[in-house]
């Protein structure tokens, strides 16, 4: 399933702690401290190679403009690029053609290590098997043609290629990616801020699959715009015991089920101490696969299937009627799927503390959303002297998607671990700014 693009702005430095290893049997662990500024994001290897070892710690820039955006180098000689980090997508790609308003592109003609993939190559079919749009053959040059599309109707296409990816001072040769030269964006201003996208789902072409990491984790602070992303296995004495929920796997192909997404099972939702009165079947995928629950770093907010969203909306309205004043404008819907908004004065801090906690109940784990994470201030939108805030859960039916999507806004101050070996996702509440200090990243 493609990701949905409505996020923050992050700045990250990647620290690589070296040890001798080769992919995929042994891995290094990559630590990324984050800083966050506000914004709205763009839209969701050779097997015998080794990463070079180095004595010093390497750093990699990371930004977040509506997605986590890693700064790294690609090609020989290296060209600096920025890539949106997206757990809801598979194919990593770069803009390879300069278009108006695009700040950064990768120029394959300048790289000695760039290798085209012809459409006759088995790689073109076998390695693209998990893509929603099948690979095809470009008629003019007989190269392997790839295309991806997203829920907001954005799309991009180009050719599959091999290239060297440089992470700090370490080189990863033979990385398969899309060199994209055409497409359509529904938000070109934001899309122009990144060179491309780094797919992080479980597909065979994703960054984490090609790199062979057994797991990765991230922690986004809601206090001081900092956080950390870690690629590889991690164990810290100061980290609380994680509650794990298994990844749901369906072997048979279903039309609305993304088999390479990080799919978990949502079992219920509480508002305060009250469980929504919904049958368990309301949270289960149906016979077509519609209704899966995906954890997606490429989506800002959380979107629920229509009946579940309506029940949550009604209960939240009921429990906050003495605390919040509804923004009465039937023609206003924030970002299409978010139709519950409020007028809030310029000092909302006390209001946030009075809001009921919304708890997402998963099989074996729970994620709680409270305080200011429940409301989001609409930029440049006011009602008299009041600001307009919207409920940070939306209706996926209004997006035209057949799924529940857990966005990164509700993952703030939660340690998120994606364990690919044991097929599970772990949660633990934590102050992510303090976690960064524990890792001595100088946040």
Name the active-site residue from 86, 191, 258, 419.
86
Establish whether 130 is a catalytic residue.
no
Over the chain, what HEC string results?
CCCCCCCCEEEEECEEECCCCCCCCCCCEEEEEEEEECCCCCCCCCCCCCCCCCCCCECCEEEECCCEEEEEEECCCCEEEEEEEECCCCCCEEECCCCCCCCCCCCHHHCCCCEECECCCHHHHHCCCCCCCCCEECCCCCEEEEEEECCCCCEEEEEEEEEEEEECCEEEEEEEEEEEEEEECCCHHHHCCCCEEEECCCCCCCHHHHHCCCEEEEEECCCCCEEEEEECCCCCCCCCCCEEEECCCCCCCCCCCCCCCCEECEEEEEECCEECCCCHHHHCCCCCCCCEEEECCCCCCEEECHHHHHHHHHHHHHHHCCCCEECCCCCCCECCCECCEEEECCCCHHHHHCCCCEEEEECCEEEEECHHHHEEEEEEEEECCEEEEEECEEEHHHHCCCEEEECHHHHECEEEEEECCCCEEEEEECCHHHHHHHCCCCC
Is residue 86 part of the annotated active site? The answer reads: yes
Exactly one of 152, 258, 296, 419 is catalytic; name it: 296
Residues 3 and 156: beta-carbon distance below 8 Å:
no
Q: Quote the CA–CA distance of 31 and 441 in Å, as a whole number.
A: 9
Distance CA 310, CA 25 (A): 47
Residues 126, 131: Cα–Cα separation, whole Å: 11
Active site residues: 86, 296
């Amino acid at each position: 399933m493609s990701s949905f693009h409505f996020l923050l702005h992050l700045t990250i430095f990647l620290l690589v702690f070296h040890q001798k290893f080769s992919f995929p049997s042994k891995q290094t662990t990559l630590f990324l401290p984050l800083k966050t500024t506000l914004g709205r994001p763009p839209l969701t290897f050779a097997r015998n190679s080794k990463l070079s070892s180095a004595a010093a710690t390497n750093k990699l820039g990371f930004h977040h403009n509506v997605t986590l955006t890693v700064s790294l180098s690609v090609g020989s000689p290296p060209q600096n690029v920025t890539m949106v980090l997206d757990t809801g997508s598979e194919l990593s790609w770069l803009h390879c053609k300069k278009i108006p308003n695009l700040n950064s592109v990768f120029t394959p003609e300048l790289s000695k290590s760039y290798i085209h993939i012809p459409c006759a190559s088995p790689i073109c079919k076998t390695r693209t098997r998990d893509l929603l749009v099948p690979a095809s053959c470009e008629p003019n040059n007989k190269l392997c043609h790839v295309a991806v599309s997203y829920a907001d109707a954005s799309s991009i296409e180009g050719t599959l290629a091999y290239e060297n990816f440089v992470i700090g001072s370490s080189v990863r040769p033979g990385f398969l990616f899309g060199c994209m030269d055409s497409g359509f964006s529904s938000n070109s201003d934001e899309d122009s801020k990144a060179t491309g996208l780094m797919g992080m789902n479980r597909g065979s072409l994703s960054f984490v699959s090609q790199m062979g990491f057994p797991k990765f984790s991230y922690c986004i602070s809601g206090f001081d715009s900092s956080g950390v992303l870690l690629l590889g296995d991690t164990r810290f004495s100061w980290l609380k015991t994680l509650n794990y929920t298994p990844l749901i796997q369906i072997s048979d192909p279903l039309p609305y089920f993304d088999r390479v997404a990080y799919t978990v099972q949502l079992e219920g939702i509480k508002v305060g101490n009250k469980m929504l009165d919904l049958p368990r079947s309301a949270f289960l995928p149906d016979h077509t696969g519609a209704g899966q629950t995906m954890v997606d770093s490429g989506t800002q907010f959380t979107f629920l299937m229509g009946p579940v969203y309506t029940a949550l909306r009604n209960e939240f309205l009921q429990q906050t009627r003495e605390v919040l004043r509804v923004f009465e404008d039937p023609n206003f819907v924030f970002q299409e799927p978010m139709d519950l908004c409020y007028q809030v004065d310029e000092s909302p801090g006390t209001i946030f503390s009075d809001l009921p906690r919304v708890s997402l109940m998963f099989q074996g784990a729970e994620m709680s959303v409270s305080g200011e994470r429940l409301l989001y201030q609409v930029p440049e939108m006011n009602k008299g002297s009041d600001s307009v805030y919207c409920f940070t859960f939306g209706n996926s039916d209004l997006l035209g998607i057949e799924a529940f999507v857990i966005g990164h806004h509700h993952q703030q101050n939660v340690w998120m671990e994606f364990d690919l070996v044991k097929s599970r996702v772990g949660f633990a509440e934590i102050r992510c700014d303090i976690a960064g200090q524990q890792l001595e990243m100088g946040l």
